[in-house]
C-alpha cells in the first residue's frame, strides 16, 4: 500500500534531558542510524504526500539530518498538542489523513503505520485512531478510556488519572492517525489545564467525542515496537531489539550466523546467500556482501564491498572503501582501507593495505605494509596481476609493482618495479665462520665469573 492522501508529522522537539547528551536525543543512533531516521525510512516506504519533523531550538543538527524533509520549529515546547500546531503551515489546505508519530520510537514498523491508516479509513470513519498497547508495566503512560462497545472516549494522562483509570490496562502508545479535516480545529480547542500545565495531544479524543465524532483504538501486538527512548538504558534496549530483528532477517534471507547474539549489524548491512558469519563480527554502516562468502570470527567491517566467494578473517578489519573481489582471501590481522583487491588475490597475514589496488591473483606476503601517508598526503600503491609481494615488504607510495613481479622479503620498495622483475632491497648476507661458537664460549665464561664473585 502507499499512504495516498496522507501526511506524517514527527514530533521531536522534546528536550531529551534524560539522555544527558550534547547530541539531540533523536540523533542518537540505533544500529548505526539516527533514531528519527529509522522512522523516516519507514515513512519513506509508504510515500506520504507530506512529511514534517517538529524540532526545538538549536537543532540545526536535526534539520541537517532529516533534510530534505522539512522541519517546523516549536520553541518553547509546551506539550504534544502544541508541537503538532507548530506544523500548521506545512499542513495548510491538507484534508487527508495525518499520522502523528514520536521521533524517539525507532522500532515502529511500517505494518503498524499501515494498520493505523487503514483503521482511520474504516467503516465508522473515526476522526481519531489511537495506537494502544498493553505494557507489562504501564508506569506513566496515558490510559485509554473506552465506553460501552469499546469505543474510545478519552485519553487520561497518568498524572491526571483517577485510581480506577490507572487500573486500565490499555495505554496510549503515542501514535495517532487523525482526519486532517478536523485535526487543527480539535487542536485549537486543547488547553493546558492539567497536572503538567501542558497542551496535551491526547485531549483531542475527548474533544472529538464532545463534538459527536467517533474515535477508535488499534492495538499493537508487540509492546517493544512502540518503546520510546528517553535515557541511555532504553537506547541500549532499543539497540538489542533492533539487532535481534536484523539477525533474524539475515538468517531468513539465507545467511548462517554461527552465534547470532555476538554478531552486530548495521541498519543497511546486505548479505548474499550462503554467507557464513562466525562469532563476534561487527558490521558498521555501508557493507554489502555477495554470495558464498565466509566471514570468520572477530572481524570488524564497515563501508566495504565483499564479492562472491571471498574469505574474510578471522580477525580482519575492513575499513571504508575496501572492495574485495571474487574469491579473494583476507586473513588474520589484515587491515584494508580504500583499496581494490581483485579476483583471487590473497592477503593472508598481518598486513596493512590502504589506498591501493591489488591485481588479480596477486599474493601479498605476511607483514606487508603500504606506506600510504607521508604526514601530509595520501598516495597510491598499485600491485599488478599475479605479483608476489615478499613478507615484510614496505611499499612506499606512490609506487607500482608490475604484473608478475616479485619483491624480496624485507624490502623497502620506493621506485616502480617492472613487470616480471625481482626487486630486492636489503644488504647482502655475510657469514662469519665459527663466530657463534666463540661467542657462546666468551659469554659463558663471563657468566661463570660473575656467579663465583
Ligand atoms: C506521551 C503521551 C502519553 C503516552 C506516551 C507514550 C501526551 C500528552 N502523552 O507522554 O499518553 O502514553 O507519550 O510514550 O501526548 N514533544 C514535542 N514537543 C513538546 C512535547 C513533546 O515535540 O512540547 C515530543 C517529544 O520530543 C517526544 C514526543 O513528543 O518525541 C512525546 O513527548 P513526551 O514528553 O515523551 O510524552 P510522554 O510524557 O511520554
Ligand atoms: Mg515519552
Q: Give me the mean pLDDT over the 48-67 stretch.
A: 92
**Alpha carbon distances (Å) from 108 to 38, 174, 241, 243:** 9, 11, 11, 14
* Per-residue pLDDT at 84 exceeds 80: yes
> Which residues have CB less than 5 Å away from ligand 2 (the ion)?
228
Looking at ligand 1, which residue's alpha carbon is closest to its atom 37?
141
| Residue among 36, 38, 102, 156 to mutate when testing ligand 1 (max atoms within 8 A of CB) | 102
Single out the residue of 47, 28, 218, 1 nearest to residue 106, CA to CA.
28
Output the pLDDT for position 28. 97
| pLDDT tens digit sequence for 232-241 | 999 999 999 9
pLDDT at 58: 65
DSSP 416: P
Per-residue pLDDT tens digits for 211-250: 999 999 999 989 999 999 999 999 999 999 999 999 999 9
* 87 within 8 A of 20, measured Cβ to Cβ: no
Cβ atoms of 292 and 309 closer than 8 Å: yes
Cα(12) to ligand 1 centroid in Å equals 9
Would the pLDDT of 269 be above 90?
yes
What are the pLDDT digits (tens) for 157-186?
Answer: 999 999 999 999 999 999 999 999 999 999
Confirm if 365 and 389 have CB atoms less than 8 A apart.
yes
Instruction: Indicate whether 102 pLDDT > 90.
Output: yes
Percent of the chain scoring above 70 in pLDDT: 99
The per-residue pLDDT for 2 is: 63
Q: What is the mean pLDDT of residues 328-340?
A: 98
Q: In this structure, what DSSP letter does residue 89 have?
A: G
Write out residues with Cβ below 6 Å of ligand 1.
11-14, 54, 74, 77-80, 82-83, 102-104, 141-142, 155, 157, 171-174, 200-202, 228
Residues in the chain: 453
Which atom of ligand 1 is closest in space to residue 140's alpha carbon? 12
Please provide the average confidence, as pLDDT, over all residues in the chain: 96
pLDDT in tens, 300-333: 999 999 999 999 999 999 999 999 999 999 999 9
CA pair distance 100, 5, nearest whole angstrom: 14
Q: Has 349 been annotated as catalytic?
A: yes
Output the pLDDT for position 123: 87
Task: Give the ligand 1 atom nearest the CA of 14.
Answer: 26
What residue owns the CA closest to ligand 1's atom 11? 142
List 38, 182, 329, 349, catalytic entry = 349
Q: What is the pTM of this model?
A: 0.92
The per-residue pLDDT for 308 is 98
Task: Kindly tell me the sign of the dihedral angle through the C-alpha atoms of 188, 191, 196, 200.
Answer: negative
Amino acid at each position: 500500500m502507499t499512504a495516498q492522501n496522507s501526511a506524517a508529522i514527527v514530533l521531536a522537539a522534546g528536550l531529551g534531558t534524560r539522555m544527558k547528551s550534547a547530541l539531540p536525543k533523536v540523533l542518537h543512533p540505533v544500529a548505526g542510524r539516527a533514531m528519527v531516521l529509522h522512522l523516516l525510512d519507514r515513512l519513506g516506504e509508504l510515500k506520504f504526500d507530506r512529511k514534517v519533523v517538529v524540532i526545538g531550538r538549536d537543532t540545526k543538527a536535526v534539520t541537517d539530518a532529516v533534510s530534505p524533509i522539512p522541519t517546523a520549529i516549536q520553541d518553547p515546547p509546551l506539550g504534544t498538542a502544541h508541537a503538532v500546531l507548530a506544523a500548521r503551515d506545512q499542513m495548510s489546505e491538507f484534508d487527508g489523513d495525518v499520522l502523528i508519530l514520536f521521533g524517539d520510537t525507532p522500532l515502529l514498523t511500517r505494518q503498524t503505520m499501515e494498520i493505523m491508516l487503514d483503521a482511520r479509513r474504516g467503516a465508522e470513519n473515526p476522526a481519531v485512531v489511537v495506537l494502544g498497547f498493553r505494557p507489562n508495566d504501564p508506569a506513566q503512560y496515558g490510559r485509554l478510556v473506552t465506553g460501552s462497545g469499546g469505543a474510545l472516549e478519552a485519553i487520561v494522562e497518568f498524572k491526571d488519572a483517577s485510581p480506577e483509570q490507572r487500573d486500565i490496562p490499555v495505554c496510549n502508545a503515542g501514535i495517532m492517525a487523525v482526519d486532517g479535516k478536523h485535526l487543527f480545529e480539535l487542536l485549537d480547542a486543547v488547553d493546558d489545564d492539567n497536572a503538567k500545565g501542558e497542551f496535551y495531544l491526547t485531549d483531542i479524543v475527548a474533544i472529538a467525542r464532545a463534538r459527536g465524532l467517533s474515535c477508535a483504538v488499534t492495538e499493537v501486538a508487540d509492546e517493544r515496537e512502540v518503546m520510546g527512548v528517553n535515557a541511555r538504558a532504553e537506547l541500549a534496549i532499543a539497540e538489542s531489539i533492533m539487532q535481534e530483528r536484523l539477525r533474524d532477517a539475515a538468517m531468513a534471507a539465507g545467511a548462517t550466523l554461527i552465534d547470532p547474539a555476538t554478531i552486530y549489524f548495521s541498519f543497511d548491512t546486505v548479505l548474499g546467500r550462503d554467507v557464513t558469519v562466525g562469532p563476534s563480527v561487527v558490521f558498521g554502516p555501508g557493507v554489502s556482501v555477495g554470495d558464498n562468502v565466509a566471514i570468520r570470527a572477530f572481524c570488524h567491517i564497515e563501508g566495504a564491498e565483499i564479492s562472491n566467494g571471498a574469505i574474510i578473517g578471522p580477525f580482519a578489519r575492513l575499513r571504508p572503501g575496501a572492495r574485495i573481489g571474487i574469491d579473494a582471501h583476507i586473513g588474520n590481522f589484515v587491515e584494508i582501507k580504500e583499496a581494490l583487491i581483485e579476483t583471487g588475490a590473497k592477503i593472508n597475514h598481518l598486513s596493512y593495505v590502504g589506498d591501493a589496488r591489488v591485481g588479480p591473483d596477486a599474493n601479498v606476503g605476511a607483514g606487508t605494509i603500504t606506506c600510504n601517508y607521508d604526514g601530509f598526503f595520501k598516495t597510491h600503491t598499485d600491485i599488478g596481476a599475479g605479483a608476489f609481494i615478499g613478507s615484510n615488504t614496505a611499499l612506499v607510495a606512490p609506487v607500482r609493482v608490475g604484473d608478475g613481479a616479485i619483491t624480496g622479503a624485507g624490502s623497502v620498495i620506493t621506485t616502480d618495479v617492472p613487470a616480471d622483475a625481482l626487486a630486492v632491497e636489503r644488504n647482502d648476507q655475510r657469514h662469519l665462520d665459527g663466530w657463534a661458537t666463540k661467542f657462546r664460549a666468551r659469554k659463558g665464561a663471563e657468566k661463570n665469573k660473575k656467579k663465583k664473585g
